[in-house]
Amino acid sequence: MAMEKRARFRSPWLPYVLLAPQIAVTIVFFFLPAGEAVYYSAHIQNAFGGNLEFVGFDNFRELFNDQLYLNSFRVTAVFSALVAVLGLGISLVLAVFADRIVRGATGYKTLLIWPYAVAPAIAGVLWMFLFNPTLGVVAHWLRRAGVDWNFLLYGDQAMLLIVLAAVWKQVSYNFLFFLAGLQSIPKSLIEAAAIDGAGPFKRFVTIVFPLLSPTTFFLLVVNIVYAFFDTFGIVDAVTSGGPGQATNILVFKVFTDGFKALDLGGSAAQSVVLMAIVITLTVIQFRYVERKVQY
């Protein structure tokens, strides 16, 4: 595709006017605050809310010596790994079976896509209601089956619950992309393998899955970004980071340290670390993900 137009219009001022609204919003609400975060991350505020004192990298040093922060990193890593693996696995299975079906596939698709429209915080509330130790329907079943279920007390159960809510919401998105990827694989390849005697399972392992790898890798990055940044609402609604620190993911911690604990320098340093993570993920997404996958 052409990257440049040959036919252009000429005006010394019009392009700037057209760009002005976007650039204004970008500067005021993106660059200014991001710059401030970087600035504050190198300062501390004294106890009386007075002068800022320059401390260099002290906030970062403190951060990476803080057991709570390191714990938050661990929690985030476990959470995003579980969300990505479970989310991709479940939706791949559903998409593979949906791709096999000739009649009724659109019906299943319609029924599977609506969790996408549900806000993360509401997804959290729905799952919390099902698993609520005192009144949840599923919690009741679990207790009857002999499971000592109380996610308000047990960290592992709390983690499991936010993973379930996060995966539930993301499955529709993954499913749509996997299905599109599967449908773009040439039927002639599959037929040739079938004629050579390869059964459905063998065909999936040797042909379909390798051809699907660009989609899988793309979805992996998207799911990690989702688990890192778009699950704040789920954590806030279901566990508020607890019990203890068991579900205190990084974006939740930067919020509580900034707004509840009012730790300006520490929170800003956390913001800068998060920025570095997003930049890395975005670069990976643009540099290594095959973006010309045919849908």
| Other C-beta atoms lying within 10 Å of the C-beta of residue 159 | 19
136 and 130 Cβ atoms separated by less than 8 Å: yes
Q: How far apart are CA 157 and CA 148, in angstroms?
A: 10
- CB 176 to another protein: min, Å: 6
CB of 57 or CB of 259, closer to another protein: 259
Is 202 a binding residue for another protein by CB under 8 A? The answer is no
Residue linked to tokens 């057209």: 18
Q: How far apart are CA 176 and CA 105, in angstroms?
A: 12
Burial annotation 51-77 (CB, 10 A radius, 16+ → b, else e): eeeeeeebbbeebeeeeebeebeebbe
Is 260 a binding residue for another protein by CB under 8 A? The answer is no
Q: Which residues inside 40-59 make contact with another protein, applying CB under 8 A?
A: 40
Residue linked to tokens 């000592």: 148
Q: How far apart are CA 170 and CA 219, in angstroms?
A: 10
Q: Which residues inside 132-151 make contact with another protein, applying CB under 8 A?
A: 132, 134-137, 140-141
CB of 130 or CB of 211, closer to another protein: 130
- CB 196 to another protein: min, Å: 12
Q: Which residues pair with 44 in a beta bridge?
A: 53
Is 261 a binding residue for another protein by CB under 8 A? The answer is no
Is 121 a binding residue for another protein by CB under 8 A? The answer is yes
Peptide bond into 120 cis (omega under 30): no
- CB 42 to another protein: min, Å: 14
Q: Which stretch binds another protein (CB under 8 A): 51-59, 60-68, 206-214, 268-276?
A: 268-276
Is 66 a binding residue for another protein by CB under 8 A? The answer is no
Q: Which stretch binds another protein (CB under 8 A): 53-61, 69-77, 104-112, 155-163?
A: 104-112
CB of 52 or CB of 90, closer to another protein: 90
- CB 26 to another protein: min, Å: 5
Which tokens hold the place of 148? 């000592």
- CB 126 to another protein: min, Å: 4
